[in-house]
Amino acid sequence: MRRRLEGRIGSIGGAYGIEALSIAGLLVIWQIAAQIMDNTLLLPSFLQVVGGFLRQWQAILFEDLPISLIHFFIGLIGGVMVALPIGMAMGWFKVADRIFDPLVELLRPIPPLAWIPFAIIWFGLTDESAGFIVFVGAVFPIMINTYTGFRSLPMIYVESAKVLGCTRDRDLIRYVAFPFALPSIAAGVRIAMGIAWMCLVAAEMFGVSTSGLGFKIWHFYSLHRMDLVLLYMIVLGLIGLTMDRAFRFLVEDRLLRWRVGLTQ
């Protein structure tokens, strides 16, 4: 039904005609509104932002973005490396669950940004410091989804693995629990990426770092260059979107093809 509907719309306005029109409409309204208001501080116009991009794109691409990506991946990779083993252990061994669960439940409700003072004290104004805030944001969603994935493993798969000679915990985790939990883990990483991206900007804005996309937003705000603030906001949004789509394409569509039948 949906497919047929899409087909009909497609035949009216090309493959993504209506979607493109919708975005173009927003840009036109924005530009007109900004021209009527005529106040760069309150609302910079679309063309001003485009102009800002033309002057600023090299700095964005070669200075700010690489720094932010370093912060992002320090936190995300650190998060995966800590969350996976703990989440797997908690999901598989009852003792590990009882050891880690109270700790996780105590630490998890602390908002990641509350760690900023300690991040600065521990790491100084370094990439690691911003990475640490990103890590705190990323680690729990991955851990919890890993745990949940392991916990929802149906007994039948464990038993059929056992009668096929897979009896050690190590093998059962590697050959059965982990592949079964992978879609859940991937979903956790995707959620973590979104949270990590938010934490990254906040951490950079609040002075954990002296560079990066988030830092630049605060920097240009202090110069009252709202056109550049808006430009960086848009860049952050587009990069977040790109990373989410790339992850979905690489991991969920390719690696987890087997899951199609389970979700439809």
Partner 1 sequence: MALLEIVGVSKRFIAEGKQMEALKEVSLSIDEREFVCFIGPSGCGKTTLLRIVAGLVEPSSGWVSLDGQPITGPGPERGMVFQEYSLFPWRNVLENVGFGLELKGMDRPSREALSRQYIEMVGLERFEQRFPHELSGGMKQRVAIARALVNEPRAILMDEPFGALDAQTRNTMQTELLRIWSDKRKTVLFVTHSVDEAIYLADTIIIMSARPGRIKDRIEINIPRPRVRTSPEVNGIRDRILQDLRSEMED
Given the rule CB under 8 A, which residues bind partner 1?
Answer: 156-157, 159-167, 171, 175-176, 179-180, 182, 257-262
Q: What count of other Cβ atoms lies within 10 Å of the Cβ of residue 229? A: 21
How far apart CA 46 and CA 29 sit, in angstroms, is 10
Q: Is the Cβ of residue 55 or residue 174 nearer to partner 1 in the bound state?
A: 174
User: Minimum distance between the CB of residue 165 and partner 1, rounded to whole angstroms?
Assistant: 4
> Tokens 């992850």, residue?
247
Q: Is the Cβ of residue 13 or residue 179 nearer to partner 1 in the bound state?
A: 179
Q: Is the Cβ of residue 153 or residue 208 nearer to partner 1 in the bound state?
A: 153
User: Minimum distance between the CB of residue 88 and partner 1, rounded to whole angstroms?
Assistant: 16
How far apart CA 143 and CA 114 sit, in angstroms, is 20
> Tokens 């035949």, residue?
11
Q: What count of other Cβ atoms lies within 10 Å of the Cβ of residue 63? A: 15
User: Minimum distance between the CB of residue 173 and partner 1, rounded to whole angstroms?
Assistant: 13
User: Minimum distance between the CB of residue 258 and partner 1, rounded to whole angstroms?
Assistant: 5
Contact 144, 191 (CB under 8 A): no
Contact 108, 115 (CB under 8 A): no
Q: Is the Cβ of residue 104 or residue 172 nearer to partner 1 in the bound state?
A: 172
Q: Is the Cβ of residue 65 or residue 161 nearer to partner 1 in the bound state?
A: 161
Task: Spell out the SS3 assignment of 161-211.
Answer: HHHCCCCCHHHHHHHHHHHHHHHHHHHHHHHHHHHHHHHHHHHHHCCCCCC
User: Minimum distance between the CB of residue 183 and partner 1, rounded to whole angstroms?
Assistant: 9
User: Minimum distance between the CB of residue 53 and partner 1, rounded to whole angstroms?
Assistant: 44
What does the chain come to in residues?
Answer: 264
Q: Which letter does DSSP use for residue 124 in this model?
A: -
